[in-house]
């Protein structure tokens, strides 16, 4: 009996059993793509890329598809993390509507008569005229006033620290001068420096 298959005689597992185990493992870790949903394929790609250390540098310079799905445009490339980003899966939370969106929606609902384009144009004109921005303008003015007050307080505190530092430096300079005058030999040094002048 050849040496390659000698280990099989010692094993209690038969060749058909090993083949079945291989099939089960392959099905568990590498399912067929045709039987997977879009979400499962995306998760599989990200998980495989992370654990196998895939490099996507070979794709550099290739033309990007013109019509990319919105979720894929800003997504991180596979291989950085094992989890697929929510944007790629299409399960990212929706952002809250802005003040403009809410104003347009309410204005359209309050004025149901007429053509949709005219109603929308009127709503945009009303927004530009400031009907929807007044509450935001008050809040922005209050924020600017608060920031101005904070900046003034900071500048006052900075000026106070600077004057205290200057006063301290002057006091230290005077004290150092007094100490040097009281040292023996300082008078001789002063007289030498006076003679040089």
123 and 174 fall within a common domain: no
75 in any annotated domain:
yes
The residue range of the domain holding 120 is 97-132
- 85, 8: one domain: yes
* Region for 61 from its dihedrals, namely left if φ exceeds 0, alpha if ψ lies in -120 to 50, beta otherwise: left
Q: Whole-model pTM? A: 0.35
Q: φ, ψ for residue 56 (rounded to 5)?
A: -105, 15
For residue range 6-21, list pLDDT tens digits in order: 555 666 778 888 889 8
For the cut 60, the answer to whether the pLDDT of residue 189 exceeds it is no
Segment 154-166, tens digit of pLDDT:
999 999 999 999 9
Q: What CA–CA distance (Å, rounded) separates 41 from 36?
A: 6
Q: Are residues 15 and 77 in the same domain?
A: yes
Q: What is the pLDDT of residue 155?
A: 93
Q: Say if residue 9 is in the same domain as residue 85.
A: yes
> Domain for residue 65, yes or no?
no
Report residue 195's pLDDT band, with 50, 70 and 90 as the boundaries: low
Q: Is residue 111 part of a domain?
A: yes
- Mean pLDDT value across residues 103-130: 87
Q: Is residue 155 part of a domain?
A: yes
């Amino acid at each position: 009996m050849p040496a390659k298959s000698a280990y099989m005689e010692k094993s209690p597992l038969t060749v058909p059993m090993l083949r079945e185990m291989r099939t089960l493992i392959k099905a568990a870790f590498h399912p067929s793509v045709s039987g997977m949903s879009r979400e499962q394929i995306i998760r599989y790609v990200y998980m495989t890329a992370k654990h196998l250390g895939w490099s996507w540098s070979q794709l550099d310079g290739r033309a990007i598809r013109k019509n990319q799905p919105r979720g894929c445009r800003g997504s991180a490339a596979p291989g950085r993390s094992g989890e697929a980003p929510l944007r790629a899966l299409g399960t990212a939370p929706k952002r809250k509507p802005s003040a403009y969106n809410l104003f347009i929606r309410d204005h359209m609902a309050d004025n149901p008569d007429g053509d949709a384009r005219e109603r929308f144009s009127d709503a945009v004109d009303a927004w530009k005229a400031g009907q929807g921005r007044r509450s935001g303008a008050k809040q922005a003015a209050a924020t600017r006033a608060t920031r101005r007050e904070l900046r003034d307080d900071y500048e006052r505190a900075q000026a106070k620290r600077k004057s205290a530092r200057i006063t301290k430096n002057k006091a230290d300079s005077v004290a150092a001068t007094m100490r040097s005058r009281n040292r023996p030999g300082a008078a001789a040094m002063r007289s030498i420096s006076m003679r040089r002048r």
